[in-house]
Amino acid sequence: MSLNERNLNEHLEMSAEVAEALAAGKPVVALESTIISHGMPYPQNVETALEVERIVRENGAVPATVAVIGGKLRAGLTPDEIDYLGRRGREVIKASRRDLPVLVARKQDGATTVAATMIIAALAGISVFSTGGIGGVHRGAETTMDISADLEELAETPVMVVCAGAKSILDLGLTLEYLETKGVPVLGYGTDELPAFYTRQSGFGVDYRVDTPAELAAIFAAQRSMGYPGGMLVTNPIPEEYSMDKARIDEVIEQALAECDERGIHGKETTPFLLARIAEITGNDSLDSNIQLVFNNVALGAQIASALAG
């Protein structure tokens, strides 16, 4: 047994369902856990997470919700473990790449961000990961240097990430520039324009438009067969009926950003604060949109994973 295999056995635990599916070459979709602990209140967070898993199964794949439980990197949680994360909420550490060694050593719990979920998915051998929106370059990053670790992870870790674009609280233009510099392909599913999370339009273009899950799978398979490092980003627009008015959501975001600055909130607390405040200002319309775009992304992720497995 190699050192890497011993390390995986020591730190990584897969559910029986996920391990059996991977061994049999069946499609598996990774799912993050910050949406459970930091994304919305209990019990709505748990109900949403369980519905997400149901949608993955409905579309022919096995869900693998990812988290750190008791210092173990987990791929595949039980409903009771999802409920546990949901009940604890923000008491659970929001875990990115830098946090994983500390959580493992201290045998603590962590809800995984996009970056940490990608790492654990790759360790488990899961190629497709569906989420809501990725992190990116924050507004004002030219002075704060506030850039999400998600972007660096996309450049390094071989996982296809399906999302509704970068969160619209970010500087979308600089986020795309960063991804281009790192050589990360940005693919628009059925669109030439980068979706902006709550809305279908951003004013920025994607690298390539792709119209079928099968072609998305073929492009990712080609990247892997060529030995390229890093991953790939699929941007899937929020369904039209749940898309919010761009002028209205931009106004709300500006208000939330101003309040964030006034309160001195920074670092990993920025995004949860902004999303919660936006939901509050919009009377939870933004939260409803957030949930629906996640449902849309996990369905597409399952279809891509099925095409890869086929």
Q: Which amino acid appears at position 229 of this protein?
A: P
Q: What is the mean pLDDT of residues 29-36?
A: 96
Lowest mean pLDDT among 26-30, 172-176, 203-207, 283-287: 283-287
Q: Is the pTM of this model over 0.85?
A: yes
- Helices (H), strands (E): how many in the chain? 14, 11
State yes or no: pLDDT of 5 exceeds 50.
no
- Choosing from 152, 167, 182, 269, which is the catalytic residue? 167
Distances (CA, A) of 297 to 132, 200, 272, 294: 7, 13, 20, 5
Res 246: pLDDT: 81
| Catalytic residue check, 182 | no
Indicate if 246 belongs to the active site: no
Catalytic site residue from 32, 53, 81, 153 = 32
Single out the residue of 114, 136, 103 nearest to residue 35, CA to CA: 114
Please state the rounded mean pLDDT for residues 204-227: 97
232 CB-contact burial (10 Å; exposed 0-12 / middle 13-18 / buried 19+): buried
Mean pLDDT over all residues of the chain?
Answer: 91
Domains assigned to the chain = 3-309 (3.40.1790.10)
CB 134 within 8 Å of CB 166? yes
**Residue 1 pLDDT greater than 50, yes or no:** no
